[in-house]
Amino acid sequence: MPLGISIPARMARVTFTAHLARIAPTEPVIAPGATVADVLRDVFARYPALRGYILDDQDRLRLHIAVFVDGVHVRRDPLGYPLNAESDLYVMQALSGGQDA
Amino acid sequence: MNQNRLHIASRKGLFTYTRDAAGWRHSGTAFLGSPVALSLASADGRTVFAALNLGHFGTKLHRSDDGGTTWTELEPPKYPKVEGADEKEKAPALAGIWSMAWTGTPGGLWCGTAPGALFRSDDNGATWQINDALWDHPARKACARRSCPRICSSIR
């Protein structure tokens, strides 16, 4: 019998760089998952061609791809990064250079 | 060999030139703005491969079955999967395609990649198998340590 409370599923909103418009969703998509890897796995199931553009042969995040979660650039173990109930994810190209880089 | 068609792979796209009575003329452009590492055309000119080296998104492989008018993206060669966190960190992943050749059998292709490996396809590039004899060769590791960084940087 249901207890009358429900644990909200963690749903992230994912936005991909416009440079991937040919193979990625062009609008933000909603995907479930407790970590960045979970959420990306769900998106890749819907957009299979996208996978190889974001992950390498060993399923690591590509060296020059940056993941932002709730406004923060996740540099350390980005795929394992835990998400909130409604995290906002951006998957972009990593850029370097300039004086402060 | 089709003597009247030329595919030029450049850092800004693949440009095709065709020769007729008036001489060479530009007849097609593909992957405009993307670095195309190399292209390989069949003797009849119909099948064309293009290997792209996208800075952020990795090495990509495309095939045309109509002489370069339309293209289909293929799964590029993939290095053997390594399990275990520490091992996985330094495990190899495709960093570039620097050579392609026909094997001489129908649908057969060789593909030379960085880090140094040789792959073969027998289905026109749809699937690739690594050449184990070279990959497992004891001399490869020593060779890779010395020369691979230079090779990788020269094809980017």
DSSP track, B84-135: SHHHHHT-----EEEEEEE-SSTT-EEEEEETTEEEEESSTTSS-EE-HHHH
Chain A residues in contact with B78 (beta carbon < 8 A) = 57
DSSP chain A: ---S--PPPPEEEEEE-GGGTTTS-SS-EEEE-SBHHHHHHHHHHH-GGGHHHHB-TTSPBPTTEEEEETTEE--SSGGG-B--TT-EEEEEE----STT-
Using an 8 Å CB-CB cutoff, list chain A residues near B72.
none
Q: How far apart are CA B31 and CA B14, in angstroms?
A: 6
* B73: closest CA of chain A, how far (Å): 9
Determine the distance in angstroms separating the CA of B27 from the nearest CA of chain A, rounded to an integer.
Answer: 24
Residue indicated by tokens 């184990």:
B132
CA closest to A23 among chain B residues: B73
Tell me the per-residue pLDDT of A19-71, one tens digit each, with 9 for 90 and over.
Answer: 999 999 999 999 999 999 999 999 999 999 999 999 999 999 999 999 999 99
| pLDDT tens-digit series, residues B82-129 | 887 667 778 999 999 999 999 999 999 999 999 999 999 999 999 999
Fold of A11-93: Ubiquitin-like (UB roll) (3.10.20)
Q: Is the pLDDT of residue B74 over 90?
A: yes
Q: Is the pLDDT of residue B3 over 50?
A: yes
Residue type, B2: N
* Nearest residue, CB atoms, B55 vs list A56, A57, A64: A64
Report the distance separating Cα A86 and Cα B5, nearest Å. 54
With an 8 Å Cβ cutoff, is B114 touching chain A? no
- Nearest-CA distance from A5 to chain B in Å? 38
Residue B119 CA to residue B74 CA, distance in Å, equals: 14
Q: Within a 10 A sphere around the Cβ of B70, how many other Cβ atoms?
A: 9
How far apart (Å, rounded) are the C-alpha atoms in residues B12 and B16? 13
Per-residue pLDDT of B124-144, as tens digits, reads 999 999 999 999 988 887 766
Residues in chain B: 156
DSSP letter string, B33-69? TS-EEEEEE-TTS--EEEEEEETTTEEEEEEESSTTS
- Interface size, chain A vs chain B, as Cβ–Cβ contacts under 8 Å: 41
Q: What are phi and psi of A63, to 5 degrees?
A: -55, -35
CB B34 within 8 A of CB B59: no
Percent of chain B with pLDDT strictly greater than 90: 78
Compare CB distances from B58 to A19, A62, A94 and report the shortest one's residue: A62
